[in-house]
Structure 1
């Protein structure tokens, strides 16, 4: 069974490399996460100086994430362009509509496409994998409209397979937790501000420093709703830790601090949307 899994993985990786090779040149939208790091490493391996990375810096991603992305690109020796987003000029983003991600992705990937064109790169790629089809992701519509390619999807790679291949390639992100855009921590219909995103970032960086790996801090006005993995929930039943977390989160600016009893799960803010709303 293990041999078959390994063989399937090799086949998919070879498919990925052949697909990238056929593109001729590629610009990777590089966040520094598990998927885009793996994709950039593969593209650089196949295309060498015909592969480049663009990181769009914004308040939607933590400074720690940005620093890690910059450091990895430097270690790889790939051309890396850093651009600044103007996300607060996007009304739908600030208003936090249910299709916020579409408008934001459209603006950001338009910037990346322009950078690619200016550097004579034919294609722009995102790091989405086939597991990303399972959640409500309006940003994928923008990806299709702008003709951005998704090599990991083309190779039918799942998140866990990307991690396995990343480990084989000795990439530092192979076991890195997934960290989505910080705007996903704020309920739809609640305006997004720089201050709110900074509060979320501070809360999440604090939890990382405490040793938590996979979690979310959801911003509900005065309330912070913390999601951690089911096996990590028991850590919060320490009076000392509870007091410490509450004290820190109140210093950040929250008046109330709660632990979500369901635990961490991706797309929890999408749970309130009906299927009709997702399709509209």
Structure 2
């Protein structure tokens, strides 16, 4: 079945004549760019969108893979961080990111004669919340993997058959996806997330997300305080300097390892040095798109 779909994909991409691929270095975009290169040769171009939401390691790996497999590649700097709608982090944040991406790619395609812009949405993405697909539709960007019905697992199998190093690569998403909707996206937060995830991956963890939450709890202190005017409540209160909480998601099969040889303490110390006031572990483990799940209010159980 997968080989039949691969043949269909090759035929579909061949019908484009030329193709510009939105390329991130992830499983889907590497596979798509590789097939486009195989079918269209120099009439294909992979373009990486660089911004603070792209981890440096991901950029380096994407360029390295392109070089190894002779995929024509280019890096463009996108400006979604200049868009207040993106910074505000609404639940359709991905729309503004993808809109900025395709707004950069469209002039390149026109100027250099690429007939089609394509990106790596696949058949498995249908079940997740993907506002970026709306931006793709507005710019008439094609999703050939989805069009021929290739699922994520099939893409991994075919990637392995083509010798692509991304065949078993963990599912990735931009760093901004680690921040809950409604909490502003800042470069400082993204740097903290990136450093924390790098530390965990350097320890050998495979499926990793560090979800970044800003707490607004009021705390008391004997060292620094504010006193309300006389005649009113004069409680000694202040806001903690660091209100960031790291909620670590690790693959369920890897959770046990975190408690071996004091690894949990090493992680806590490292993430606090990065700037987190609190370091927690999500007991459900890593779940793709967990911040897309409906938010429910946790109520105190009856006494």
The TM-score with structure 2 as length reference comes to: 0.86
2: CA distance between counterparts of 1:13 and 1:101? 28
Alignment of 1:153-192 (within 5 A): 153-192=146-185
2: CA distance between counterparts of 1:273 and 1:237? 29
The answer to whether residue 136 in structure 2 is matched with residue 143 in structure 1 is: yes
The answer to whether residue 46 in structure 2 is matched with residue 56 in structure 1 is: no
Counterpart of 1:215 in structure 2 is 208
2: CA distance between counterparts of 1:91 and 1:244? 37
C-alpha displacement of 1:115: 1.5
CA contact (8 A) 1:217 1:224 kept: yes
What SS class does the counterpart of residue 156 from structure 2 fall into? helix
The structure showing larger relative contact order (alpha-carbon pairs under 8 Å, at least 6 residues apart) is: 1
Q: 2:271 aligns with which of 237, 242, 249?
A: 249
1: CA distance between counterparts of 2:44 and 2:19? 5
C-alpha displacement of 1:239: 5.8
The answer to whether residue 43 in structure 2 is matched with residue 21 in structure 1 is: no
Counterpart of 2:67 in structure 1 is 74
**CA RMSD of superposed structures (Å):** 1.2
C-alpha displacement of 1:150: 0.4
Larger radius of gyration: 2
Q: 1:36 aligns with which of 24, 29, 40?
A: 29
2: CA distance between counterparts of 1:208 and 1:242? 14
CA contact (8 A) 1:126 1:148 kept: yes
Counterpart of 2:108 in structure 1 is 115
Number of residue pairs matched by the alignment: 267
Alignment of 1:119-134 (within 5 A): 119-134=112-127
Counterpart of 1:12 in structure 2 is 5
2: CA distance between counterparts of 1:199 and 1:29? 26
CA contact (8 A) 1:90 1:104 kept: no
1: CA distance between counterparts of 2:64 and 2:109? 21
Q: Deviations over 1:59-93 (max 9, x none)?
A: 11100000011112222223212111112111111
Q: Deviations over 1:185-218 (max 9, x none)?
A: 0011100000000100001111110001112100
2: CA distance between counterparts of 1:139 and 1:237? 38
2: CA distance between counterparts of 1:219 and 1:204? 11
Q: 1:271 aligns with which of 269, 289, 293?
A: 293
Larger helix proportion, structure 1 or 2? 1
C-alpha displacement of 1:127: 0.5
